[in-house]
Structure 1
Amino acid sequence: MNDAKEVLRHMGFTEIRDESTGKWESLDNVNGRYGTTDDTHLILPENEEGVCRLVDPDTEEQIATARKSVSNSAAD
């Protein structure tokens, strides 16, 4: 079990969009919101390079999306 935020950072992800807000924010702002990799599963879809899906293991619902840095013109 590892901190989800730190695993995402190690994998090169820098931004996250919570499904409840729909807004992208810096991974630095997460502050433990997604707990550990036991609390939140990190899924790397094969057909979406540079994206990680965060999934609640109990409900199997996607709760957030992480992405690697993008230019400001491509954001949102």
Structure 2
Amino acid sequence: LHNYTTDLQLAPTKPIDAGMFRFCHSCQKCAANCPSGSISLEKDSSWDIPAINGKANLMHNTGTKEFWSDGALCRMWRTEYGT
């Protein structure tokens, strides 16, 4: 659920397939149990970053295929309910 940006010089490496991405397609427990509804319940991941309240979602980096989450909604829920 997280991306990190750095200016640290790192040698490029090929992705490691540990099966986690495929597992998310069938499990969906994170999304089903998210109290704020911030994690997408879509059955398939997407390259397209979804809009939030009809506006462009600028909180995510482009170029990744993900099950998108609404970080702002999550943060607001956590602030309000203290978790």
Higher helix residue share: 2
Query: What is the TM-score of this pair, normalised by structure 2?
Result: 0.23
Query: What is the TM-score of this pair, normalised by structure 1?
Result: 0.24
Larger RCO (CA within 8 A; separation ≥ 6): 1
Tell me which structure has the larger Cα radius of gyration: 2
Higher strand residue share: 1
